[in-house]
Amino acid sequence: MIDPVAFTIGPIQVHWYGILIAAAALVGTLLATRVARWLGEDPEEAWSMLLVVMAFAIVGARLYHVIHMWDHYVANPIEIPQIWNGGIGIPGGIAGGALGVLVYTRSRGLNTARWLDIAAPALLLGQAIGRLGNFVNQELYGPPTTLCGVDFPPCLPFGIPIDATHRAGTQWDAVTYPVETTQFVPLFAYEAILTLIGAAVLLFVIRRFGSRLFAGDAALLYIMWYGAVRTLLELYRVNNWTILGLPTAMWLGIIGFVLALAWLVIRHRRGRGSPMIRPADPPKTDAPAPQAQAEPSAG
Residue 105 above 70 pLDDT? Answer: yes
Query: What is the reported pLDDT for 299?
Result: 41
Do 205 and 218 touch, CB atoms closer than 8 A? yes
- pTM, two decimals, is 0.88
- Residues 250-276: what's their mean pLDDT? 95
Query: What is the reported pLDDT for 295?
Result: 43
- Residues 41-53: what's their mean pLDDT? 97
Query: What is the reported pLDDT for 76?
Result: 86
Query: What is the reported pLDDT for 94?
Result: 94
Residue 297 above 60 pLDDT? Answer: no
- Report residue 79's pLDDT band, with 50, 70 and 90 as the boundaries: confident
For the chain, what is the mean pLDDT?
A: 90
- Residues 214-218: what's their mean pLDDT? 97
Domain assignments of the chain as residue spans, ordered by start:
5-141+186-270
Closest alpha carbon to 141 in 127, 155, 126? 155
- Report residue 291's pLDDT band, with 50, 70 and 90 as the boundaries: low
Q: What is the pLDDT of residues 141-173, one digit of tens each?
A: 999 999 999 999 999 888 999 999 888 778 899
Q: What is the pLDDT of residues 219-240, one digit of tens each?
A: 999 999 999 999 999 999 887 7
Instruction: Give the alpha-carbon dihedral of 143, 140, 12, 70, to 10 degrees.
Output: -100
